Structure 1
Amino acid sequence: MTRTPPRWVRIVAPVILLGVWLGVSALGGPTFGTISTVVNNDQASYLPASAESTVVQAELKRFFPSDTVPAIVVYARTSGLTGDDRTAVAERVDAISAIAGVGTVVGPIPSTDGQALEVVVPVESNAVAKTVIAAVRSAAVDGIPSGLTSYVTGPAALGVDFGAAFGGIDGILLLVALLAVFVILLVVYRSLLLPILVLLTSTFALTGSILIVYLLAKAGWITVTGQSQGILSILALGAATDYSLLLVARFREALISHRTAWPAMRVALRAAVEPIAASAATVILGVLCLLLSGLNSNRGLGPVAAIAILFALLAALTALPALLLLCGRAAFWPFRPKYVEPVEGVPAVQKTGRLWGAVGGLVSRRPRAVWITSVVLLGAASLGLLQLQANGVPQTDLLLTQADSVDGQKLLAEHFEAGSGSPVYIVTREAEADRVVALAAATDGIADAAVYTGASGAPGGPAAPAKVVDGRVLVEATLSVQADSAAAEKAVTGLRDALPAIDPQAKVGGVTALALDTDITATADLRVIIPAVLLVVLLVLMLLLRSILAPVLLIGTVVLSYAATLGVSALVFNHLFRFPGADPSVPLFGFVFLVALGVDYNIFLMTRVREESLHIGTRPGIVRGVQATGGVITAAGIVLAATFSALQVIPILFLVQISFIVAFGVLLDTILVRSLLVPALSYDIGRRIWWPSKLGRAETTPRSPK
């Protein structure tokens, strides 16, 4: 029998552990307000340096006197502009030009219908865009005549409005997630203190992970986007809570057969460490596969998510045990687990709930009917994949709330060439300039094209010699369609296909080309990262379960669950929410998180099944495993789904879609796949599920638990 440490050790050791975590929180807490300073939402920096649009982006700095991002102020009056309107706008141009961080303003440029004026405002890249755009918006409307509509739009303004949408990540997202988890834990535990202990553990995980991520991003070692910042918070909270639920369940079981908290915690940790560590390792290795991505933003999410899971693991295995040891049975008040004296050397066990007793009975009576029905249901849901639209979404559709820049883009398209302010750039040899201009002007989706002279910031400026840099010139092509539309991407693709016949070294860039290259790279990532994630998860499961067949079947069920989730999501996005489509990264992120997190619950189940099978045989062990883990795994799934659902409060299409996919997928895994499909399939196969291990070759002789 293991000797219990002296009382002072049982008090001091947990206090020291908690002191360490409180110190981590003291350092990491303030980074919630400063991490936004290292967040990078600039799409141009996501692509590799070898991408064609990235090459052009670098070339632009050699042609333009300063590195700027355009904003566009559009004024309109449907009844036609008046003389007072024109005078007022001219005054506003002078005011805007005087704003710090604004380059040489171009305009006002009148529309052909006489109803609108366009002003191009270059925002210097080294200026604080949020401050400059706010000043431009204030100056643009100051004193303008009644009835004259004004919006500030263009890439610079869209970027600022996106940043404002992400601003809720630090506050409201965290508040909603914590509140949802707290309510669920109250219902699950019917205890006031235990939910606080679990949430405190999750908070430790979050503050520790955000501190490390902030330091790495500040050092320039990883890229943190608004998307990955939100996912960091959700993963740290959700995973830490899940791991805590498993440990608490084991601790509660152990308190029934042990008088005091210390030996009970020793037993609980011995039983929980392996599945929790295996689960964390699976998710960490799975998300690190994102390092294979061609996009810097995706590569950055890999280590960000891995750090969140690592701190969730550390907090659940150190901070939570310390809290539970200090509180003992009081943590479960008012429903404290009662100690039961063992009878004839057999320790007491927790009673099985009616629901999970019934599920276990169903699985044992009709295993084949249960798993075949489950597969048919998942297969039917997977048919929705035929309606999945994940080829990219116009930037103006990514914001789900009203925004000045989005409304301005629509107004701009009504009165000017829709691509005004976001030209397509072509870098070509000086000798081929005229032919390239003619090709661009004749391309569908392009209104006109001209060689950049340096005399003005937009095509159609005063006649002047072309600006030549190392024998190359810059051609600016104005799109007749919105720069973030599919038609604009088709125009860029057409140019890239036709240009090599004129100049094999010609490159096409600009806002549209950046979006196109991002979508192409994200689509290519699917073919690389999905097989890598499956292989990594398969290897972890083989090592954990000492089997080949069981891991292969588990991977198969998770993939089928993912297909069903994506199928249902496609139907919901298209017909219920009526979303315009999805970014190619959405199915990729959904796959990485669902496969990694979905396997979690299978790990929790099958490690318990294997543990029971060693004592009572495989088929009885499956039933016992389902009954023992049903409540805790279902609670864990609901908690994780609730935390991901909190992303719905951020009005960004990408995050809302990821939120739904992961939340629905986790619930599907928890309720159908882990509760019915996996146990029924395993029960039908029997001991061969453990092939080729010894456990799979012959039925185990029951042995007494130690």
Structure 2
Amino acid sequence: MLALLAAVPFAGRLGDAKRDTAVDYLPASADSTQVAKVQAALPGGDTTDLVLVYRRDGGLTAADREAADAQVARVAGRHDTVQGGPPRAIPSRDGTTVMYPMALTGLKDEKPRADAVKDVRATLADHPEGLSVRVGGDGALGADSQEVFASTDSTLMLATVGVVALLLILTYRSPFLWLVPLAVVGVAALAAMAVVYGLVQGFDLVVTSMSSSIMTVLVFGAGTDYALLLVSRYREELRRHRLPYDAMRAALRGCGPAVLASCGTVAAGLLCLLAADLNSSSGLGPVGAVGVVCALAAMLTLLPAVLVLLGRRVFWPLIPAYGSEPRARRGLFAAMGSSAGRRPGTVLLAGGALLGALALGVLNLPGDLKQADTFTEAPESVTAMKTLSEAYPERSSQPISVLAHTDRAGQALARARATDGVERAERGRSGAGWTEIDVYATAPPQSAGEERTIRALRAGLDRVASAEARVGGPSAQELDLKDTNARDRTLVIPLVLLAVLLILAALLRSLVAPLVLVVAVVAVWGAAMGLGGLFFEPVFGFAGIDPGLPLLSFVFLVALGVDYGIFLMHRMREESLRGADVSEAAITALRTTGGVIASAGVVLAATFAVLGSLPLVMLAEMGFVVAVGVLLDTFLVRTYLVTSASLLLGRWVWWPGALSRRPAAPDSPASGAPAPGAPAPGAPAPGAPAQ
């Protein structure tokens, strides 16, 4: 607990340590990544590519062109450019638009680049009435992205705290109790930020705005889940123990193994992302794992200490008195369990068919998300690029960057100019043994035609001996992201499944039960992605999906979804060890843990749904898929399908463990007599939701 509190002062420094350059998100081994690194080392540093766009719908006038030339000259006079002066004007065929591609140099860091873009926009602010002037290009898009990222932390934190507070108030029905877990999970979030900052300083861990945002959601979601489980068990034990300290010890003994296994599963699944080649994915693994572990540490140390110090009065007005019994009533989850128990085969088939039908929605998923469509509300840079794509449908306004050894640059330039789909190619900067070549495709940026041109460039340049030519730039980066995500899925997904299966097998002493849980969460992921296909473009208007969405949503849904399976199956195993047959154990486990799982599922889904409030399509899509998947898992799969499958499998669900060979005891609940240690009829067992 003291370690958690001591780490808090360092949390505020994480914001300054976050990195959101292209290299921080790109594949580690891709050509486009190597190009970006070499460009940063060339004279003048990494270029900041801009396109100044002037447009008048009725057609540009002579006064418009004169004003545009004068403004562009002022911009060139205020900044160092690759051209060494004003860039040439390129008018559109219809006469409505003129663009000025230019590249600023000498700006090595993100803040100077963003400041330069602001200065360019301020210089262009005074223009003739009716003439629209916008700044686009990769440099402007980067500056707009930085502005969006700067607002995500505060927006996400406030929205998450508000959602969690509301749900805790509704769950506990107490004016004070909700403040305790909320305050503790807040401390856990600050501690996680501090630990991640330490990893950045000690191991040069890459932390992006995306990974920081997801870590915040994980801390609040997982931490609140653990708090719900512990507080529910603690309330139960207060009825059995006179002293709060003794009640908390019993509560920790009862739910501790399940919480530890839950945290271990999520952390192990996230750490599998270290095997990904994509920098943003591999960096997210340890960042997310740190968040979950800090949430666990806070909930197993600080939360119990605070609850014990506050005593029973923290539950006012529903104070659990020593020796009292909760109000007996038939709960919703007992009714659900009974319905699943009457026709388990029918329930399993119907639920499986529903998930399969939902999964068909993946056929309606939009294509890959283009760089211009990454924002839910288009900034100026995106609007400028859309204007260019409409005014110049026959050409690309965004160069493809080629780097080659200087002594072979002539051959590389000739090969580039001879490549199908290339309109023109020009020499750019030279230095450190490399020469930069700007290649313009005939197809629009990030179109299928430009993708073919990039692949043809790479194939042709590979044949230029000793040139070691590499193809980069924004469009090549998007192509590499797509290809790398496809490769990462084939590697990381099996690792996640293996890690989860091993942890579940160790906890449940079975191979069949873990397989049931894993198959269930994979089905949930498919259904959630299918719902994404039904909502992303038709309802939300998203023009595509981020290439990393399938992998990251799989990791989160499998790791987090298995959590609830652990709570359910661990309780089911406890009942089986007491002598209950599988049928009675499954129904009892559902009845006693259903309320806690439902509350935890709603909280976790709500915290991920908060990502939809951010102006980034990737995070909004991630929030939707994980939130919908968690709700499906909580109210359909965990409640009906896993229970039905367990009833159909009988004792074979524990194969090859000892329970699979152990018949139900004569005095088990299945025979009508209460099992040893079982609660009285109508009373909730440990882990049951509070009454």
Q: Same fold (TM over 0.5)?
A: yes
Q: Could you tell me which of 467, 475, 480 is aligned with 2:442?
A: 480
Shift of 1:428: 6.5
Rounded Cα–Cα distance in structure 1 between residues aligned with 2:652 and 2:60 = 81
Q: Could you tell me which of 328, 336, 342 is aligned with 1:359?
A: 336
1:101, 1:132 within 8 Å by CA — same for their partners in 2?
Answer: no
AA matched with 1:254: E
**Are 1:403 and 2:379 counterparts?**
yes
**Are 1:124 and 2:101 counterparts?**
no
What does residue 345 of structure 1 align with? none
Map 1:441-480; keep pairs closer than 5 Å. Answer: 442-444=419-421, 446-452=422-428, 474-480=436-442
What does residue 664 of structure 1 align with? 628
**66-75 vs 229-238, which moves further:** 66-75
**Are 1:192 and 2:192 counterparts?**
no
Shift of 1:473: 5.0
**Are 1:251 and 2:228 counterparts?**
no
Rounded Cα–Cα distance in structure 2 between residues aligned with 1:70 and 1:675 = 54
Q: Could you tell me which of 174, 177, 190 is aligned with 2:157?
A: 174
AA matched with 1:186: I
- Cα deviation code 1:207-229 (max 9, x no counterpart): 00011112322455211112111
2:402, 2:438 within 8 Å by CA — same for their partners in 1?
Answer: yes
What does residue 11 of structure 1 align with? none
1:247, 1:272 within 8 Å by CA — same for their partners in 2?
Answer: yes
**Are 1:580 and 2:543 counterparts?**
yes
Equivalent position SS for 2:443: coil
Equivalent position SS for 1:147: coil
Equivalent position SS for 1:705: coil
2:402, 2:436 within 8 Å by CA — same for their partners in 1?
Answer: yes
Identify unmatched segments of 5+ residues in structure 1.
1-16, 342-347, 455-466
Equivalent position SS for 1:70: strand
What does residue 414 of structure 2 align with? 437
Map 1:618-629; keep pairs closer than 5 Å. Answer: 618-629=582-593
**229-238 vs 44-53, which moves further:** 44-53
Map 1:519-530; keep pairs closer than 5 Å. Answer: 519-530=482-493
Rounded Cα–Cα distance in structure 2 between residues aligned with 1:487 and 1:192 = 61
What does residue 76 of structure 1 align with? 55
What does residue 460 of structure 1 align with? none
2:413, 2:427 within 8 Å by CA — same for their partners in 1?
Answer: no
Q: Could you tell me which of 345, 359, 384 is aligned with 2:361?
A: 384
Q: Could you tell me which of 504, 515, 518 is aligned with 2:478?
A: 515
1:158, 1:405 within 8 Å by CA — same for their partners in 2?
Answer: yes
- Cα deviation code 1:137-185 (max 9, x no counterpart): 11122x3222221111111110111122222321121111111111111
Distance 1:232 1:49, change over 3 A: closer
Rounded Cα–Cα distance in structure 1 between residues aligned with 2:73 and 2:406 = 37
2:608, 2:626 within 8 Å by CA — same for their partners in 1?
Answer: yes
**Are 1:369 and 2:352 counterparts?**
no
What does residue 463 of structure 1 align with? none
Distance 1:308 1:603, change over 3 A: same
Rounded Cα–Cα distance in structure 2 between residues aligned with 1:280 and 1:684 = 29
AA matched with 1:645: A
**Number of residue pairs aligned between Structure 1 and Structure 2:** 662
What does residue 557 of structure 2 align with? 594
Distance 1:474 1:381, change over 3 A: same
Rounded Cα–Cα distance in structure 1 between residues aligned with 2:488 and 2:618 = 17
Equivalent position SS for 1:449: strand
Equivalent position SS for 1:170: helix
Map 1:664-703; keep pairs closer than 5 Å. Answer: 664-701=628-665, 702=668
**Are 1:144 and 2:116 counterparts?**
no
Rounded Cα–Cα distance in structure 2 between residues aligned with 1:666 and 1:302 = 20
Rounded Cα–Cα distance in structure 1 between residues aligned with 2:166 and 2:52 = 47
Equivalent position SS for 2:577: helix
**Are 1:107 and 2:87 counterparts?**
yes
2:405, 2:435 within 8 Å by CA — same for their partners in 1?
Answer: yes
Equivalent position SS for 1:576: coil
What does residue 634 of structure 1 align with? 598
Rounded Cα–Cα distance in structure 1 between residues aligned with 2:363 and 2:62 = 55
Shift of 1:560: 1.3
Using the aligned pairs only, state the percent identity.
Answer: 36
What does residue 6 of structure 1 align with? none
Rounded Cα–Cα distance in structure 1 between residues aligned with 2:338 and 2:353 = 21
AA matched with 1:491: T
Shift of 1:201: 1.6
Shift of 1:439: 5.2
Equivalent position SS for 2:124: helix
What does residue 92 of structure 1 align with? 71
AA matched with 1:479: A
Map 1:635-650; keep pairs closer than 5 Å. Answer: 635-650=599-614
Rounded Cα–Cα distance in structure 1 between residues aligned with 2:4 and 2:462 = 60
Shift of 1:665: 0.2
AA matched with 1:657: E
AA matched with 2:106: E
Equivalent position SS for 2:542: coil
1:51, 1:517 within 8 Å by CA — same for their partners in 2?
Answer: yes
Shift of 1:58: 4.2
- Cα deviation code 1:654-686 (max 9, x no counterpart): 101100000000000000011111111112222
Rounded Cα–Cα distance in structure 1 between residues aligned with 2:264 and 2:37 = 40
Identify unmatched segments of 5+ residues in structure 2.
669-674, 679-691
1:63, 1:474 within 8 Å by CA — same for their partners in 2?
Answer: no
Rounded Cα–Cα distance in structure 2 between residues aligned with 1:598 and 1:233 = 18
What does residue 223 of structure 1 align with? 206
What does residue 67 of structure 1 align with? 46
Shift of 1:413: 3.0
**378-387 vs 267-276, which moves further:** 378-387
Q: Could you tell me which of 562, 574, 580 is aligned with 2:525?
A: 562
Map 1:238-387; keep pairs closer than 5 Å. Answer: 238-340=221-323, 351=328, 353-387=330-364
2:75, 2:120 within 8 Å by CA — same for their partners in 1?
Answer: yes
2:52, 2:134 within 8 Å by CA — same for their partners in 1?
Answer: yes
1:381, 1:568 within 8 Å by CA — same for their partners in 2?
Answer: yes
Distance 1:102 1:206, change over 3 A: farther
Distance 1:677 1:431, change over 3 A: closer
Shift of 1:430: 5.4
What does residue 545 of structure 1 align with? 508
AA matched with 1:497: A
Shift of 1:546: 0.9
Shift of 1:83: 4.2
Shift of 1:49: 5.3
Shift of 1:256: 1.7
Distance 1:91 1:450, change over 3 A: closer
1:261, 1:325 within 8 Å by CA — same for their partners in 2?
Answer: yes
Equivalent position SS for 2:87: strand
Shift of 1:318: 0.8
Rounded Cα–Cα distance in structure 2 between residues aligned with 1:62 and 1:172 = 36
Distance 1:396 1:636, change over 3 A: same
**350-359 vs 168-177, which moves further:** 350-359
Equivalent position SS for 2:450: helix
Q: CA RMSD in A?
A: 2.5
Rounded Cα–Cα distance in structure 1 between residues aligned with 2:456 and 2:478 = 15
AA matched with 2:300: L
Equivalent position SS for 2:322: coil
TM-score (norm 2): 0.90
Distance 1:396 1:118, change over 3 A: same
Rounded Cα–Cα distance in structure 2 between residues aligned with 1:537 and 1:106 = 59
AA matched with 1:406: V
1:352, 1:627 within 8 Å by CA — same for their partners in 2?
Answer: no
Distance 1:61 1:132, change over 3 A: closer
